Amino acid sequence: MPLPEPRANEKKETFVSRCMEEVTTEDREKWPDQKQRAAVCYRQWDSWQKDHGHPERAEK
């Protein structure tokens, strides 16, 4: 399952928290350490923001 993407008007901290909760069992095996999973979610945020702009400014 792919990692989640930020939702419109979602704050960074909210997204990272949600992302870490949605990491699948398979992904948990790839990234067993919570710090690794957090880094992956922060990278997902940064990548999405670079490609789409900041979600806090996105339309609902």
Model pLDDT, residue 56: 64
Per-residue pLDDT in tens (0 to 9) along the chain, 60 residues: 688 999 988 999 999 999 998 887 778 888 888 899 999 999 999 999 888 877 666 544
CB 12 within 8 A of CB 58: no
CB 33 within 8 A of CB 10: no
Model pLDDT, residue 46: 93
The CA distance from 15 to 13, in Å, is 5
Domain housing 34:
12-57
Q: Is residue 7 part of a domain?
A: no
- The radius of gyration of the chain's CA atoms, rounded to the nearest angstrom, is 12
Model pLDDT, residue 35: 92
- When divided into structural domains, the chain yields a total of 1
Q: Is residue 2 part of a domain?
A: no
